[in-house]
Each structure stands twice: as structure tokens, then as C-alpha cells.
């Protein structure tokens, strides 16, 4: 098993940017879902980011802990209703929007993305852990201004 140098939890959800993150693999286990990601962006407010700008990580792992439910759908242009899919069957999921909602004792994580077509994935879990090893470079949006 690979050792990870850095680890964060959903407590810092607002300091992690998942937009445009590419999912490389999803493994569903009894009580957790392991999501291998190409990279994510860690914002400057995150306690593990020592820089004054958002930084892009190397390959990372997102682990949903104590999973209660997991449902995914694909929005096919040919169908009028969303088609259910197993999350592990996504081919090339790119995360466009990642939201979190408190739901009693658990949290609802909603991921809207693209996997050839638009898709949505909802995971109800206790929380998550994000693991990575190093920062590679500034996030793609560093230096952008509102008028660009």
C-alpha cells in the first residue's frame, strides 16, 4: 500500500477545488469508496498549503468514509430520463461541480460532471479523506483576473 505524505478531511472542503479534476479509477468497498484522481487544487487558505496561491497536487486519492448510499446517473441525449449507472463504470469522469450538504448525522456529496455525457453522482457518507504527496505547480486559475 502506498504511503501518502499529506492528508486532509472534509473539514477543509471549502479549501479544496475539485473543478476539472479527472477521475482515473473508482473502487467501491463495503464501507468506503476510493476515488483515484489525476490532481486537485488546494487553495491558499488550507492549512497544508504553505503558499499564498492555490497549488495543484500530484495524483491523489479521495476516500469517502462510512458510505451509506451511492447513486449515479448519466444524462443521455437520446433519453428523456437519467439512466442509472454504477459509479465504477464511469469511463472518463471530469468533475465540474462538487457540493456538500449536511444531512443529519451524515453528509451528502453531490458531484456533477462529464463522462462522454453529463452525469451526476451522489454519495451519502460520514465524510472523506483526501491524500496526496506534493504540490506540482500553481493551479490553472492563478493569475486570472475577473476581466479575462
> What pLDDT digit, counting tens, does each position of 63-74 carry?
999 999 999 999
Could you tell me the CA-to-CA distances from 10 to 64, 118, 135, 146, 148 in Å, in that order? 9, 25, 19, 28, 31
Note the pLDDT of residue 79.
78
Note the pLDDT of residue 70.
97
Residue 37 and residue 113: Cα distance in Å, rounded? 14
pLDDT less than 50: residues of the chain: none
Note the pLDDT of residue 144.
82
Note the pLDDT of residue 104.
87
Note the pLDDT of residue 146.
61
Query: Structural domain boundaries of the chain?
Result: 1-33+64-117+124-134
Amino acid at each position: 500500500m502506498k504511503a501518502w505524505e499529506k492528508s486532509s478531511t472534509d473539514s477543509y472542503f471549502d479549501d479544496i477545488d475539485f473543478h476539472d479534476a479527472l477521475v482515473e479509477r473508482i473502487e467501491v468497498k463495503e464501507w468506503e469508496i476510493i476515488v483515484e484522481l489525476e490532481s486537485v487544487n488546494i487553495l491558499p487558505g488550507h492549512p497544508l498549503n504553505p503558499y499564498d496561491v492555490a497549488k495543484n497536487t500530484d495524483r491523489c486519492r479521495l476516500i469517502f468514509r462510512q458510505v451509506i448510499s451511492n447513486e449515479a446517473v448519466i444524462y443521455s441525449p437520446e433519453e428523456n430520463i437519467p439512466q442509472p449507472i454504477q459509479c465504477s463504470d464511469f469511463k472518463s469522469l471530469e468533475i465540474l461541480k462538487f457540493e456538500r450538504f449536511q444531512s443529519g448525522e451524515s453528509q451528502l456529496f453531490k458531484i456533477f460532471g462529464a463522462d462522454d455525457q453529463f452525469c451526476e453522482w451522489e454519495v451519502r457518507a460520514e465524510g472523506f479523506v483526501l491524500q496526496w504527496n506534493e504540490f506540482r505547480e500553481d493551479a490553472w486559475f492563478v493569475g486570472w483576473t475577473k476581466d479575462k
